[in-house]
Structure 1
């Protein structure tokens, strides 16, 4: 019998899951304060009913747009605007970008230092000097699981990196997962966000920091997510939408408590370098990182067994093994990279990626040469 290692858990304070949960949560959200800064995506279409319902409940709402993955400049501009509103709480409704910006706002509105001081890698990575404002996260895509994580990803173009603002207190006060908000999402968004969610349950399952708790979640979620993504590839499917929303939420819990791996270690640097969408990058990298890790883990009985599970689940749900995932995703619209990078650029990205926090949880240390080979095999070489 394997001993159970010591571990801790970081989880949202409260979770509401189910169709209609967003509007059902309005009274609970309103109890957190009557002055609300509300971050939404580029369009207000999915946020509008919530804004109206909060106003009807007596809240004064400041809408803030997050039209793209947040950068340091976007964060500083949003902080300046939100401070004039003096919010009691922050609500974010949208994809992972909107949730990350909302989470960063909630963390930094009470702070007395500039944002860069709290960012990892390119800043000082300082802990927050004050508790964040209450934060409510309502995802409209089934991908990042950001409503359950303790970090907000911020792009810093001057350093060509996407880095994290990280603190246990960033985890949402209330996570509302309403799968109906994901209905009708464009095919390419569904595919990219779904591949991100899958990556975020697969990497923790193989992680060097995996726990019995995260293993149980991931062992159940991986085949569910694969089957749901395959079903959504064939057309709109409410039951599959529900499943992907659940898997995405589980992925946030899993990565927060077990870490990620080389896919995300590479994706943070590669996204900052190329500007490509995070989920698309993860979808391209996943099969190649899995194959590199599997080759490097020969002799590790535990992880060999888990790679076997993943291979079986892929064949059962997608009709192909790990090596065929790239072709499966491409056939469903996952585009190849827009640009090819010179060998020296690939080597530089691999070297910088090795220093990322995600890479520390990879099941085995991969050399810079191996990581550069993964990038090349995935289409950037």
Structure 2
């Protein structure tokens, strides 16, 4: 039993915890780079709280996915303004941008030198600037991961800047911040959280510590995702989903992911599509293909038993089978109106290029079984359109 586990230096979780931000920020530096989305109504109180505690914040916004060019521009602006630490307040894209900016404030080589796949993949040589990550959605767990996912429009792909030192100084999770998420965002982010938990649970890189975190997260997500979707003001459901998102981030940062996210990166770079919905579109076919491949080629794999265990967790039935897990996933996707990949402009003609890019994705390395090109293409073909009647046997 050999493994390691790394996470943010400090995790603070609970309703109303945002009020602790001034106390947390004050000792970190002279001037904060406040990385946010575009909602002035939400940003105002955070900006004012930082200003009142002497953080002298400089605000920078991220609209949509952070691109490599946008990050390079913001880093230079933050340096010019004397920012020496980062507060990232927003969804996963904002937090990924914040982590990248914190790393590049102190590591001054060109961004491309540090990027995986399309760049040099060089390690950081200096500790990043301090970073407080405050999620306002419940999905990515980016507040406790060691990478930043950035979009390169030039290469039409999403890639990571990754290093253990990129873990935030403080992860501040306040479930009250997620109460304003509309149903479609609740669905997209929540299904991403569920996918991350399941992929990390069955990953070939999993370990006993991440397994325990995933079990707890799968129970919370399966018990509360639909409640949060139906009633956004349900604070218990929102708290469970914030925890599930956090647990997914903790697990994936230490156990990796799988084929769903192996595909999601290239698709996100090639097409305008919300990451969580892409993951949800792919999840049924990936689960089905993995189960069949394991049964055919590696019937003694621990991952096969974990799929059975996940089925028991999400259904509450002690005798649940992997096919019942698959049916639960399909039912959930149908309830939340998850589209097929074709809704994002993907056609059969695009599948070979997506397969080739996905084979190079780092997430694919954690998949519990190595999938053939035909299996990968079959996943994409089976995900182009959702099952009309919600019948999981359509994937079998």
Which band: TM-score by shorter chain?
Answer: over 0.9
Q: Aligned runs of 1:216-365 on 2, under 5 Å?
A: 216-236=212-232, 237-298=234-295, 299-316=299-316, 321-337=325-341, 338-339=343-344, 341-365=346-370
In the superposition, the TM-score normalised over structure 2's length comes to: 0.91
In structure 1, distance between residues paired with 2:385 and 2:326: 19
In structure 2, distance between residues paired with 1:168 and 1:301: 29
Cα displacement (A) at 1:321: 3.7
In structure 2, distance between residues paired with 1:297 and 1:21: 44
Greater alpha carbon shift after TM alignment, 306-315 vs 73-82: 306-315
Q: Tell me the SS of whatever aligns to 1:39.
A: strand
Q: Aligned runs of 1:186-205 on 2, under 5 Å?
A: 186-205=182-201
Cα displacement (A) at 1:323: 3.4
In structure 2, distance between residues paired with 1:187 and 1:164: 28
Distance 1:172 1:339, change over 3 A: closer
In structure 2, distance between residues paired with 1:162 and 1:233: 28
Distance 1:115 1:380, change over 3 A: farther
Q: Deviations over 1:317-355 (max 9, x none)?
A: 9xx641352343233232333245443420221122011
Q: Is the 8 A contact 1:26 1:50 kept in 2?
A: no
Greater alpha carbon shift after TM alignment, 322-331 vs 20-29: 322-331
Q: Is the 8 A contact 2:199 2:257 kept in 1?
A: yes
Q: Aligned runs of 1:63-78 on 2, under 5 Å?
A: 63-78=59-74
CA RMSD of aligned residues (A): 1.7
In the superposition, the TM-score normalised over structure 1's length comes to: 0.95
Distance 1:366 1:23, change over 3 A: same
Q: Is the 8 A contact 2:130 2:169 kept in 1?
A: yes
Cα displacement (A) at 1:356: 1.0
Q: Tell me the SS of whatever aligns to 1:281.
A: helix
Q: Tell me the SS of whatever aligns to 1:47.
A: helix
Q: Is the 8 A contact 1:339 1:380 kept in 2?
A: no
Q: Which residue is 1:374 aligned to? A: 379
In structure 1, distance between residues paired with 2:14 and 2:24: 16
Greater alpha carbon shift after TM alignment, 110-119 vs 92-101: 110-119
Q: Which consecutive segments of 4 or more residues in structure 1 shift more than 6 A?
A: none
Q: Aligned runs of 1:121-200 on 2, under 5 Å?
A: 121-200=117-196
Distance 1:78 1:294, change over 3 A: same
Residue segments in structure 2 that go unaligned for 5+ positions in a row: 318-323, 387-396
Residue segments in structure 1 that go unaligned for 5+ positions in a row: none
Q: Tell me the SS of whatever aligns to 1:9.
A: coil
Q: Is the 8 A contact 1:340 1:380 kept in 2?
A: no
In structure 1, distance between residues paired with 2:313 and 2:284: 14
Q: How many residues align?
A: 376
